[in-house]
Amino acid sequence: MSPEDEASRAEFHRFFERHHRELARLAYLMLGDPDAADDLAADALADAWHRWDRVRAADQPLAYVRRMVVNMCHSRVRTLVRDRGRFAALAARWRERADAPDVPAVVDVRSALQRLPERKRACVVLRLAFDLSEQETARVLGVSVGTVKSQTSRGVAELVRMLGGRDDPAVAGAALRTERPGMGA
């Protein structure tokens, strides 16, 4: 193996170690299924390794791979919806998979999050759970900053409405930041 290949492998390994957990958490918040999230994050990182020259040449390699995860989540959701015929099947699976240590408010928020349309969910998750700026979120999703603002605002409003009009939208952000067991801090 050439020194250049070794350097590339080491660089990817550092990227993997630094970002795997975050990418798995993103997939988990998008899908609501911890096993599928772990598999999807691994698949995204495997794809990133196969395209490593392109990924590392990107202005924001992490944003590039986050977008890969979001795209793969969208594909997975489309496949599940198509296979099951209705989105309601996903909501039922989510309720069955709620982790026991979660407090009811977190379970409610996560359940409500799964009922949001994909783009709103992605904006809310990236903005509130990952604390990305509007510009970073727009770059990850490949949309305008205005779209991020409107989708995040509408998504949070829908979450508040679904949660029975709780007055504090910060509850949603706090619940999204709460780690599930096994995802680490």
Task: With respect to residue 99, please indicate whether it lies within any of the assigned structural domains.
Answer: yes
pTM of the model: 0.57
158: nearest Cα among 115, 127, 110, 95: 115
Task: With respect to residue 18, please indicate whether it lies within any of the assigned structural domains.
Answer: yes
Task: With respect to residue 33, please indicate whether it lies within any of the assigned structural domains.
Answer: yes
What is the total count of domains within the chain? 1
The DSSP code for 125 is I
Task: With respect to residue 185, please indicate whether it lies within any of the assigned structural domains.
Answer: no
Task: With respect to residue 95, please indicate whether it lies within any of the assigned structural domains.
Answer: yes
Boundaries of domain holding 23:
3-177
pLDDT 10s per residue in the chain (185 long)?
Answer: 787 888 889 999 999 999 999 999 999 999 988 999 999 999 999 999 999 999 999 999 999 999 999 999 999 887 776 655 544 544 555 555 554 544 665 667 788 888 999 999 999 889 988 888 999 999 889 999 999 999 999 998 898 888 876 545 555 555 565 544 344 43
Task: With respect to residue 183, please indicate whether it lies within any of the assigned structural domains.
Answer: no
50: nearest Cα among 104, 89, 9, 96: 9
Q: Say how far apart CA 73 and CA 61 lie, in whole Å.
A: 18
Q: Say how far apart CA 78 and CA 67 lie, in whole Å.
A: 16
